[in-house]
Structure 1
């Protein structure tokens, strides 16, 4: 296994990112241009650079509070925060990036 495979997003992260893009299109909200770019990066499942790992770690740390917001994961009217969270890989992305961040020290 190549070293870069350690930083390759999982299929579930890619699926979450695609779901986020789909919900963003449907509801017209959620995420920024940075989040959309991150979603596309995760969907491509190419190995991430260590600075991407650090950026994702920071995103999840700042936005974990969004999970307490109104309409989080509501199937009919999901919150913008939920959509953005998915763009960054969702819960699986957070778990994955937490482990990768520890590897980086």
Structure 2
């Protein structure tokens, strides 16, 4: 939980994001590809449903914006022979992680910019 001016924002990843990150860790272990050390650390935090910092939420949004292009790659989404980029995407929470991070970033911005009464 992060206390903003007039609102508390819960930055604990939801179960769907945690399970997607866990799937990324499993695929990385099985196929020995995808993700970086940072991505693995992110997946562990997401899987453990650790409350993240506002800076980490911004990093997640930036990661997904940069990696969106790889959704067109061969084997992106193929669980039997996943591309490294697909594994990396899952480590950061996949589509549920992206949606959640974008929502949380908007909440943080909204809370920070609301005028005091």
Q: Give the 3 Å change call, closer, same or farther, for CA 35–2 of structure 1 in structure 2.
A: closer
SS of 1:75's equivalent?
coil
Map 1:1-105; keep pairs closer than 5 Å: 6-105=10-109
Contact 1:5/1:47 (8 A) holds in 2: no
Contact 1:72/1:78 (8 A) holds in 2: yes
Aligned-pair CA distance for 1:104:
2.0
Contact 1:15/1:43 (8 A) holds in 2: yes
Runs of 4+ in 1 over 2 A off after TM superposition: 1-5
Aligned-pair CA distance for 1:73:
1.2
Aligned-pair CA distance for 1:75:
2.4
Which structure 2 segments of 5+ residues have no match? 110-117
Q: Which has the larger helix fraction?
A: 1
Q: Which has the larger radius of gyration?
A: 2
User: For each residue in 1:59-83, what CA deviation from the matched residue of structure 2 results, as whole angstroms up to 9, or x when unmatched?
Assistant: 0010011101011111210111110
Which structure 1 segments of 5+ residues have no match? none
TM-score by length of 1: 0.93
